[in-house]
């Protein structure tokens, strides 16, 4: 079996997951669970250009939130801290 990513004439999708991470994906292969088609079917170069213009922050979505919005699992919540007083 040849690598489906090596076929210059194949059709591709641009996919995105729930962490806003993108992937080039051959149309001949089933889209994996957790991924959504955002572009295509189209040529490889068109999908790569879509990914490049769309994926502007390489960090997973959870790391993109402002620090104040992140939950520190080692810090008790304010309601738990009040309950212990």
Distance between CA atoms of residues 83 and 85, nearest Å: 6
What CATH number does residue 52 fall under? 3.90.820.10
- Residue 7 confidence (pLDDT): 86
32 assigned to some structural domain: yes
pLDDT 10s digits, 48-65: 999 999 998 887 777 766
- Structural domain of 19: 12-58
User: Structurally, how many domains does the chain consist of?
Assistant: 1
2 assigned to some structural domain: no
- Residue 39 confidence (pLDDT): 98
Mean pLDDT of 37-57: 95
Query: In the structure encoding, which two tokens stand for residue 54, read together?
Result: 């769309």
22 assigned to some structural domain: yes
75 assigned to some structural domain: no
63 assigned to some structural domain: no
Put residue 34 in one of left, alpha, beta given phi > 0 → left and psi -120 to 50 → alpha: left
pLDDT over 60 at 36, yes or no: yes
Q: Are 39 and 14 in contact (CB under 8 A)?
A: yes
């Amino acid at each position: 079996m040849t690598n489906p990513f090596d076929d210059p004439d194949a059709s591709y999708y641009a996919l995105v997951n729930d962490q806003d991470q993108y992937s080039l994906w051959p149309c001949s292969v089933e889209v994996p669970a957790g991924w959504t088609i955002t572009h295509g079917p189209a040529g490889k170069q068109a999908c790569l250009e879509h990914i490049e213009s769309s994926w502007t922050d390489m960090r997973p979505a959870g790391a993109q939130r402002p620090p104040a919005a992140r939950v520190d699992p080692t810090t008790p919540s304010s309601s738990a801290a009040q309950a212990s007083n």
